[in-house]
Structures are given as structure tokens and as C-alpha cells.
Amino acid sequence: MELDIDDLTPRERSRIVKSAVTPRPIAWISTVDEEGADNLAPFSSYNYVSSSRPVVLFNSPTGDAGGLKDTARNALVTGEFAVNVVTEPHLEQMDHTSAPVPANESEFDLASVRRAECRRIDAPRVADAAVTMECTLYDSISIHDRLMVLGVVQYFHVAAEVLTDDEIDMTKLETVGRLGGPYYTVATPGTFKRRF
């Protein structure tokens, strides 16, 4: 199939991009609003930008009529968010937290996710996450109908179970990724290893 972008509907373009850019990592993002109501939701339009001075990004629709999603709004208003890494035991709970619920209803409670306090920010984190990165807002950039939110990582929490000799061991970290359509995948390192 050969497809010129100009011949495709927005939905068709979106389907192809979301199937081609796979598997995508999932940021399970916890935030808090000005009133202290916490929020938790998954974002797979997510990655890191720099690593030695780590900056991560996620993006969300600007939602002209309905406004921003709670996560993006809270990150902008409070200047803080935490990225929790999703591993296989949390797959169903993570999916549950994508349900559209009113801003004053917590997805932590909805999906029975245990909270813990962060060290450097007021947002809660997922207590049982294998890795959490506490972030402060770096910047936000509008791109077409999306808002890209960038955060500077200020603090890492890493569970002992995923460590070998004090480093994260990818054979112990069963990261969940998102595929096209309704599908997820779980990372298991292959036998072929990077050579260069």
C-alpha cells in the first residue's frame, strides 16, 4: 500500500502512526490539583528527551471545547508530575485508570492503586511502581491540537526487586508497552544483544 498523507482522513493517519510507532512506553502519571485532589492516568505519547540531565515528555489534546485532560492541566498549574513505570502486575489497574472520571474523583481509589508520598513534589506516586520519576515542569509546547508537556526529573524511586548490583536489571523489569489498537505488550529481552 502506498499512501499520501493528503489522501487520508485524520483518523486514518492517526491509526497508521499509532500502529507504526510501537511498542510505546507508558507513563502512568500522577498529579495533584490546587485543591489537593489527586489524579492518575496513563500516557503512551511519552518518551525521554535527554538522559544525563533527564527531561521527559508526554502529550495530551489541547481539547479546545472541553479543556485539557486533568493530568496536563494539573502539571501546568502545579508545575509538578510523577511518572510511574507500568509493569505487568499493574497492567489492568493502569488500564482502569484511563477511565473518564470527574476531576474530583481519584483514579487511585477507582483502580485500588496504593499511593505513597513523593520526596520533592506534592503529587502522590504509585507505591508499588518498579520505578517512579518525580518531575517539575520544564516547558509546554503546542503542536497542532496537542500540548507537549516536558518535565525535569528531580528524584528517582527504584524498587529493590528490579536491581542487580545497584543498577536496574532489564531482565527483572517487565515494562508494559502499548501497541496499535487495543493491544499491549510486555517487555522480555530477546537473546540478540546490541553490539555497537
Ligand X SMILES: Cc1cc2nc3c(=O)[nH]c(=O)nc-3n(C[C@H](O)[C@H](O)[C@H](O)COP(=O)(O)O)c2cc1C
Binding residues for ligand X, per CB under 6 A?
26, 39, 41-45, 59-61, 69-71, 95, 98, 100, 178
Least spacing, CB of residue 196 vs ligand X, in Å: 31
Least spacing, CB of residue 103 vs ligand X, in Å: 7
Q: Which is nearer to ligand X, 1 or 65 (CB)?
A: 65
Least spacing, CB of residue 167 vs ligand X, in Å: 27
> What is the spatial distance between Cα 35 and Cα 116, in angstroms, rounded to a whole number?
18
Least spacing, CB of residue 170 vs ligand X, in Å: 21
Query: Would the CA dihedral through 64, 69, 72, 74 be positive or negative?
Result: positive
Q: Which is nearer to ligand X, 60 or 175 (CB)?
A: 60
Q: Which is nearer to ligand X, 115 or 163 (CB)?
A: 115
Q: Which is nearer to ligand X, 45 or 132 (CB)?
A: 45
> What is the spatial distance between Cα 129 and Cα 82, in angstroms, rounded to a whole number?
11
Q: Which is nearer to ligand X, 95 or 128 (CB)?
A: 95
CB 30 within 8 A of CB 123: yes
Least spacing, CB of residue 177 vs ligand X, in Å: 9
